[in-house]
Amino acid sequence: MKWTDTYEIVDALIDAYPEQDPKKLLFTDLMNMVCSLEQFEDDPERCGERILEAIQALWIEEID
């Protein structure tokens, strides 16, 4: 997975962290969670606030 694979990232986050409330996450924590996913293989330096916002928004939408 790459940073641009937001749907795949969100699906993996939901599976890996089923009790996590994405509304309460700091972007630094979210970035670390994504980087720790087994399937994730992109450079952490390529991540920006816009990508993290998109991941967080999609995660919130998916669990609501």
Residue 46 lies in a domain: yes
Q: Between the CA of residue 33 and those of 20, 37, 52, 59, what are the distances in Å? A: 11, 7, 11, 13
Considering the entire predicted model, what is its pTM?
A: 0.94
Residue 49 lies in a domain: yes
Residue 1 lies in a domain: no
Per-residue pLDDT reduced to its tens digit, 15-62: 999 999 999 999 999 999 999 999 999 999 999 999 999 999 999 999
Structural domain containing residue 27: 6-63
Residue 41 lies in a domain: yes
Q: Per the structure, how many domains does the chain have?
A: 1
Q: How far apart are CA 48 and CA 63, in angstroms?
A: 23
Structure tokens that stand for 41 in this block:
């293989």
Domain with residue 45: its CATH number is 1.10.10.600
